[in-house]
Structure 1
Amino acid sequence: MTEPLLKQSSALIVMAVLGALVLAGCTPASEPHPSPIAASQPVETEKPGPAEEIQVGDELTAEQAQELNDSNDLTVAYPVGDKFIAVRWGQPIPEPVLQEVNAQVNAGVGASHGTGTGAAMDQEQANLQAQLQAESDKLGGITVTAVQCALSFSTSINSFAPAWAVSEPGPVGTYDSQAEATSAAQAWADGQPGKRIFVVLNNLGC
């Protein structure tokens, strides 16, 4: 009778140990598996803005220009032909940009600008202001004015005659010559370098 009892006791001990091992594997102490949702979430990294690398005068692709204009308030990409050139408010403006702004305003006002009188003159000036503002917007807020030759009423001849003038927002007024008007506009622009520029309109060939 003793031998069967020992076998039964040994069997019970083995089963108890196995049960303890199984229970131990299910306890909270076991290492948890990572959540599949958390593991699948991408890690966002902050990218530096393009303005940190782009310098004034740099030629940019259309993609770079779009990214720059969408991400920066002071530095913009101005279109010159089929390329873009970086311009920064308050810094010297590249010569190709100055030339293109001048060409764009002249094209925008048309070949008859400066020839109107009365209501037609008022419409010409309103159109000019719209063109100057459009260029200012493209330049990121740089102020643009115009030195222009246009018909102006002369009290000395009691009629309209070509005269040089500077438009708003520059040193508004009529001048005795193109040199005098240009000098006044240049002094105005130099008062805030990189923040003001002027264009020249001379459709009358003054």
Structure 2
Amino acid sequence: MTPPRTKRASTVLLIGALALLSLSGCAPEPAPADDAAAVETATPTPEIRAGDLLTAAQAAEINAADDLIRAYPVASEFYAVKWGEPIPEAVLAEVDAQVKAGAGESYGTMSDRITEDWVRLSDTMKQESEKLGGISIAAVQCALSFSTVSNAFEPTWVISEPGPVGQYESQEAALARADGWAQDGKKMYVVIDNLGC
């Protein structure tokens, strides 16, 4: 017969061994990662600057989701345009070409088509403005304008809506006014001179 003390020790050892066996099959699960720690270790997305070249996927994502930055297409590339920042040169050149193409070669040269020509030019400027994310576009143009002094149509430098609308005494005066208007990165202008003023 086993003394009572040895029996008790054997029982405790047996229970301890069973507990170890039951625990050894299951390793403790790792604690869930802290969200803040995960964010800190993630690679930060580089900030997109005005003029950056974008992929087609980036362009689609930006144009679908962001109001302050747009991806403007130039040939097969996309340039970042940011509200309130200088407009990239490649974008300025493309908008210039698109607006002039929309105006047509006869824009401002025939008095009997002034209204029709203006509607076409205005529509083109609105389309380009939408592609730019709302940047305003005005036309600085030499066009035929009716003079009450000569009672006839004469070539005159004018600035269209939404710019500083009015007639100007010279191309230099019109451009100086347009330059001052378009300084904040939210406005631009296109020069149209089909008359060769």
Aligning the two structures, in what range does the TM-score lie when normalised by the shorter sequence?
0.7 to 0.9
Residue in structure 2 matched with residue 56 of structure 1 by the alignment: 50
Residue in structure 1 matched with residue 155 of structure 2 by the alignment: 162
Residue in structure 2 matched with residue 124 of structure 1 by the alignment: 117
Asked if 1:145 is matched to 2:145, the reply is no
Residue in structure 1 matched with residue 105 of structure 2 by the alignment: 111
Give 3-state SS (helix, strand or coil) of 2:182's partner.
helix
* Alignment RMSD: 2.0
- Aligned equivalents of 2:66 and 2:150: distance in 1? 53
Corresponding residue to 1:196 among 164, 187, 196: 187
Letter in 1 for 2:192: L
Larger Rg, first or second structure (1 or 2): 1
Give 3-state SS (helix, strand or coil) of 1:64's partner.
helix
After superposition, where does 1:1-206 map in structure 2 within 5 Å? 53-118=47-112, 120-190=113-183, 193-206=184-197
Give 3-state SS (helix, strand or coil) of 2:164's partner.
coil
Give 3-state SS (helix, strand or coil) of 2:123's partner.
helix
Letter in 2 for 1:174: Q
TM-score (norm 2): 0.74
- Displacement of 1:61 in angstroms is 2.1
- Aligned equivalents of 2:76 and 2:196: distance in 1? 30
User: Residue 75 of structure 1 contacts residue 86 of structure 1 at CA under 8 Å; is this kept in 2?
Assistant: yes
Moved over 6 A (4+): none
Give 3-state SS (helix, strand or coil) of 1:151's partner.
strand
Deviations 1:38-76, CA, capped at 9 Å, x for gaps: xxxxxxxxxx9xx86322111112222111111211111
- Displacement of 1:98 in angstroms is 1.1
- Aligned equivalents of 2:121 and 2:141: distance in 1? 10
Query: Share of identical aligned residues, percent?
Result: 54
- Aligned equivalents of 1:52 and 1:108: distance in 2? 36
- Aligned equivalents of 2:164 and 2:175: distance in 1? 10
- Aligned equivalents of 1:171 and 1:185: distance in 2? 7
- Aligned equivalents of 2:141 and 2:119: distance in 1? 14
- Aligned equivalents of 1:55 and 1:154: distance in 2? 47
User: Residue 145 of structure 1 contacts residue 166 of structure 1 at CA under 8 Å; is this kept in 2?
Assistant: yes
